[in-house]
Amino acid sequence: MRNPFGEMFRGFGAVFYKEALHIRRDQMALFFTLIIPLLQMVLLGFGIDTNVRQVRTIVLDENNHVESRELIDRLRNSDTFRVIAYAHTDRELNDAIISGRAKVAVKIPWDYSDQLLKHDTAQVLVLIDGSDSSVAGQTINVATAIGLDESLQRVLGGRQALPVEMRPQLLFNPDSRSPNFFLPGLTAVLLLNVTTFLTAFAIVREKEKGTLEQLFVTPVKPLGLMFGKILPYLGIGFGELCLILLLMVTAFRVPIHGNTVLLLVLSLPYLFVSLSIGLLVSSRANSQSEAMQLSFLTFLPSIFFSGYIFPRDTMPLPFYIISYFVPASYYINITRGIILRGAGIMHLWRDGLVLLGMGTGLILLAAKRFQKKVIAT
């Protein structure tokens, strides 16, 4: 008599071995599968810099005195503004903004230095192109800060030290480098490509060919079939993860502050969840294009509600609630925690456990759906 546990997974070995053969046969596909997420990472990693720097600025200096030139120097010395041209008329100034040549226009009025001497308020007009909100927000802050600083210096006569100075210090990512913040989250999204997609395709291909129906008349058990199908892809997903981390550490110089082994171990439950989602997708989809669309559909919450792009804390309540059901939320917590903050198992075990629970639930659901299908096509 077979043991009942082995019985539940009947056929696992055969399916696993066969799936591994498929993968080995099609090395071209394997190569592209592995290389594409890395390319995406390179493009996104080098392309995206969320810090606002060197904003193109045009200046109209009607005053043209020492005081106005000092102000312009301050603007230029901040990393935020880059003066690309000097205008001579209001019209030129406006044109530069409308045409997009400059994002910021600064107009120093003819009476700027006079007003300063009279101890009146000297007004400086700063026009900002609001079509890019992150640029606009940050430029406003910097421009206001420069104005405030200039005022204080003048009020205090320039010699006295400032009475209060705030010294904010960014922990974990001292240089505010975008890749440091961005890549750990991206890892979660990129892994979906080699997990959800691949498993969904692996099963739907058999549906299209008719071999799945054939398998259903054999004594293979749904769980044996599922695990046999996903385990080879768990291997691929894990390999991909290692490549991604390697690229992140070397090419992007994002160090892993925490324990790398812990990161790898806690990645397993996430890979498991994504693979199970692939199974679920394949229980629904009947063709490869359907599988592709459905998989993309499952990617969307991982991209938008996981904290990868928009911080979870500032989400509207409904989205915040949704984010609790998105596996990537937990995984991004794990990657950012370990990579950026050096978090340990005591901080992250809950996330790992939730992922493991999700994966188990999903794979049982998929097995149930396949069991039904066996007896109803």
Partner 1 sequence: MVTQVPSNSAPIRAENLTRRFGDFIAVSGVSLRVEKGEVFGLLGPNGSGKTTIIKMLTGLLPPSGGNAWVDGLDVRTHSEAVRERIGYMSQRFSLYDDLTVAENMQFYGRIYGLPAERLRKRIEAIVALNGLEPYLGRLAGKLSGGWKQRLALSCAMLHEPKIMFLDEPTAGIDPVARRQLWDLIFDLSGQGITFFVTTHYMDEAERCSHVAYIYYSKLIADGTPEALKALPDVNPPGTRRVEITAPEVTRALRMVREMDFIRSATIFGQSIHALVDDRFDVDDLKAQLAQSGIIVSEIRPLQPSLEDVFVALTYKHKAELEAVNA
Interface residues with partner 1 (CB under 8 A) are 10-11, 13-15, 17-18, 21-22, 25-26, 209-211, 213-220, 374-377
- Kindly give the residue spans of alpha helices, DSSP state H, lying in the chain: 4-8, 12-25, 27-47, 66-77, 90-98, 112-117, 133-155, 178-192, 198-209, 211-216, 222-250, 260-284, 288-304, 317-323, 327-341, 345-374
- φ/ψ of 82, rounded to 5, equals -130, 115
**Cβ 198 to partner 1, closest distance in Å?**
15
Least distance to partner 1 from the beta carbon of 17, Å?
Answer: 7
Instruction: Please state the closest distance from residue 22 (CB atom) to partner 1, in A.
Output: 6
- Shorter beta-carbon distance to partner 1: residue 31 or 325: 31
Contact (Cβ atoms closer than 8 angstroms) between residue 199 and residue 233? yes
The arrangement of strands across the sheet holding 104-108 comes to: 81-87, 55-61, 104-108, 125-128
Q: Given the complex with partner 1, which of 2 and 159 has the nearer CB atom? A: 2
- Give bridge partners of residue 176 from the DSSP assignment: none
Question: What is the residue type of 361?
Answer: G
To partner 1, the closest distance from the beta carbon of 194 in angstroms equals: 19
Min dist. Cβ of residue 373 to partner 1 (A): 10
Q: Indicate the residue among 15 and 245 with the shorter CB distance to partner 1.
A: 15
User: Residue 11 in contact with residue 224, Cβ under 8 Å?
Assistant: yes
Q: Which is nearer to partner 1, 214 or 286 (CB)?
A: 214
| Cα three-residue angle 198-204-206, rounded to 5 degrees | 110
Shortest distance (Å) from residue 6 CB to partner 1: 10
User: Nearest approach, Cβ of 30 to partner 1 (angstroms)?
Assistant: 13
Q: Cα dist. 8→23, 87, 106 in Å? A: 25, 78, 73
Q: Which is nearer to partner 1, 151 or 214 (CB)?
A: 214
Cβ(271)–Cβ(195) below 8 Å? yes
**Of 28 and 164, which has the nearer Cβ to partner 1?**
28
Min dist CB 375 to partner 1, Å, is 6
Buried b / exposed e along 130-139 (16+ C-beta atoms within 10 A): eeeeebbebb
In terms of residues, how long is the chain?
377
Task: Give whichever of 19 and 240 is closer to partner 1, judged by the CB atom.
Answer: 19
Name the residue nearer to partner 1 (CB basis): 123 or 218.
218
Distances (CA, A) of 348 to 2, 222, 290, 330, 333: 39, 32, 36, 9, 8
